[in-house]
Structure 1
């Protein structure tokens, strides 16, 4: 019999399809020494008791208390790491003012490594405490600060995809915060790729460099072209913004006579490893190109209320076979919680429906799929589901109203989506390793 790293006993909730979440009581979720789920054993299976007893004997049984549930960890597909310390500030301002008065000056401060480390320690701890086991990060233009972010993620145990932000267009970026030239931008990007790969080899942490043009307006043609070539050379993920707002959408048309999507594709930046945030202005033709390139979308519903000028058509994109996940878009989105963004995704879809898109409504099950399976698929991760062969990225969540409200399975699921706060997330695991614990390390054992 396999000696497991940990065995969880209790009810699991995991997406089965876009429209359905499975609620499975009385199971053993067995995590092997590599941090992978080896088996999910039902109470009716013949070896349930023997596996449970072996786990008890080896002191690895983690009993999930009544009223708490084992869920997959979340993937956040869009985080501006250096913006964390302004989360919730100036969101009543126009985007241009928000960027130039608040955001760019803040990001420029990250050349100070002590400041960067302090902010990133706070951010990553907060994300883990909210159940986010994988983060896709925009860094700043500063390689040393970006490596600080990577070191913090390695130290705290979060899986991280991190990009050095490329921005060199003097017409759209301030002189105090941009790459000095296209050559510098591309050289520093490649330097960061190699440094992060070296750090990953040294720490054995789950760290991946990401090609990161801030967005089309912030980059010259030479930089966009060079970043596409670097993505191809190193076979790396790509992240950027795509048609986030009316202004960004029109900018691409005015500069290139093409849509934002077509411009990204032109420069080799729309690939099956690309994750493009927002997409509130995408047309059916843009969706078609996303589908053909197998690129993914990061839906950031809270941020889009402030800066997106519309709501991304999640149902339309899904029905056109485009993969979609969720992003907080810190700090265009004020909350580090994917739960809050699941809630907003459902609410915003109703607004889209009320404005004439009859197909727009999404459910809690749809939003949960985006937070788990959709995000993991975007990054080509075997994660986001509780089943054999998948990474043990998990969260133990307490239903704070279990003793008061209905205990019907579907009611519990929707209640968790709508009512879970950080205080209800008791433990979080990444690849089977405990990375957040609000109840004491010996809880339940």
Structure 2
């Protein structure tokens, strides 16, 4: 029986369903050499004590201390990696001004690989320290820097899905920051895909190339069509922004006389491996198309509060069969923590349900049945993200990867308010969701390998 690479003992919280968590109290988690959860053993199981007797004095046995808990690693479905360098800056100005005054000048600097390495090293390490074990990244238009980001994910042990951004329309992008032309954009994207697929062969936790039109306003029709063909040719993931704001949504309607979802689908960009960010202004036909094509939504609650002009009806979209996960949207979202986005997802949903205009009668003020519980928001950050990517991640469950964060609620400098030794474990889970900060995350494991310790 001495066959497991690692054996862990402790209490874990994981999503049982989209609305309910499962509490695994004092279980054993048996991890094989591939970093997968091969077996989960309950205290009442006959082999529980036998496994303890074999492993508990070994170096590969890990027992949680009192007040420590396992959570699945977070899955961040929308990160602008270069924008980490401007995170927390100028979120009080309009989106167009923010992009052209701050974001595009910053992203243009990533032609300098030394600068790119400094930022990308830091953002990957920071996300890991915040419990994010898988991240779906926008890079920049620069092929070499985008490959570098994938290499940094591979070396630091994070599961990275990375996209070289395409911005090939001279009329939609500043002269100093765009692809040289459509042909170059597509050639660079194909070379990027090939390079990352080669890197993936030697990366245990996986790295993946992602076809990445920034959004429709930045791309030509030929560019979008070419990217759709590349996604099909190499069976890659696809990511973009979709119906994020009043301006972006209206722009696409004016250009194509249809919504973003149908326009993107016309170019072959909605598929089972597609994740579209924001999606605040989808109508029911758009949502049905997402469900039909297997396209997932990256819900970015903090960023949406600044730039999306609305609150996305997550509960309604989810009820129609669309996979949804959470995204930090660094740096439209200021925080690298999905804990913060879990909290904001709950807050925003309550505001949508209750309404925000006090001059309206209560019955006219909000959208009924919109609220999310903290259990549901946690699902979005973990299992929902895994399902959106069709990967065995985001759950502490047999045949899933061992991607976990170890939370210490008894940290001397930031103890959580747990005063009853017999406090209900679900109440402790809720306190973790609302009160944990990065210093409470003592260790992070990806694919059975420790990648962060504090």
Normalising to structure 2: TM-score of the pair?
0.95
| Superposition map of 1:87-236 within 5 A | 87-204=87-204, 206-236=206-236
Q: 2:449 aligns with which of 429, 433, 437?
A: 433
Give the match for residue 73 of structure 1: 73
Measure the CA separation in 2 of the matches of 1:365 and 1:250. Answer: 34
Matched, 1:418 2:434: yes
Structure 1 residue 40: Cα displacement: 1.0
Matched, 1:386 2:396: yes
SS at match of 1:211: strand
SS at match of 1:210: strand
Is the contact between residue 374 and residue 433 of structure 2 (CA under 8 Å) also seen in structure 1? yes
Structure 1 residue 57: Cα displacement: 4.0
Give the match for residue 27 of structure 2: 27
Is the contact between residue 418 and residue 428 of structure 2 (CA under 8 Å) also seen in structure 1? no
Give the match for residue 276 of structure 1: 276
- Structure 1 gaps, min length 5: 439-445
Matched, 1:10 2:30: no
Structure 1 residue 407: Cα displacement: 1.9
Measure the CA separation in 2 of the matches of 1:198 and 1:387. Answer: 30
Q: 1:361 aligns with which of 361, 365, 371?
A: 371
Structure 1 residue 205: Cα displacement: 5.3
* Alpha-carbon displacement from aligned partner over 1:352-376 (angstroms, at most 9, x marks no partner): 1122211110000100110111101
Structure 1 residue 199: Cα displacement: 2.0
Give the match for residue 419 of structure 2: 404
- Structure 2 gaps, min length 5: 356-365, 410-414
Aligned residue pairs: how many? 438
Out of 202-211 and 379-388, give the one that drifted further: 202-211
* RMSD, aligned CA: 1.1
Measure the CA separation in 1 of the matches of 2:39 and 2:327. Answer: 30
Structure 1 residue 202: Cα displacement: 4.3
Measure the CA separation in 1 of the matches of 2:3 and 2:202. Answer: 27
| Superposition map of 1:256-271 within 5 A | 256-271=256-271
* Alpha-carbon displacement from aligned partner over 1:243-264 (angstroms, at most 9, x marks no partner): 0101010000000001011111
Could you list the runs of 4 or more consecutive aligned residues of structure 1 that deviate by over 4 angstroms after TM superposition?
202-205
Out of 146-155 and 271-280, give the one that drifted further: 146-155
* Alpha-carbon displacement from aligned partner over 1:211-235 (angstroms, at most 9, x marks no partner): 0000010000000000000000001
Measure the CA separation in 2 of the matches of 1:429 and 1:333. Answer: 25
| Superposition map of 1:245-260 within 5 A | 245-260=245-260
Structure 1 residue 201: Cα displacement: 2.4
Measure the CA separation in 2 of the matches of 1:233 and 1:79. Answer: 25
* Alpha-carbon displacement from aligned partner over 1:95-131 (angstroms, at most 9, x marks no partner): 0000000000000000111111011111011000010
Measure the CA separation in 2 of the matches of 1:362 and 1:397. Answer: 23
Measure the CA separation in 2 of the matches of 1:261 and 1:86. Answer: 30
Question: CA distance change for structure 1 residues 118 and 312 in 2, over 3 Å: closer, same or farther?
Answer: same
Structure 1 residue 279: Cα displacement: 0.8
Matched, 1:61 2:61: yes
Measure the CA separation in 1 of the matches of 2:198 and 2:24. Answer: 41
Measure the CA separation in 2 of the matches of 1:218 and 1:347. Answer: 32
Normalising to structure 1: TM-score of the pair?
0.97
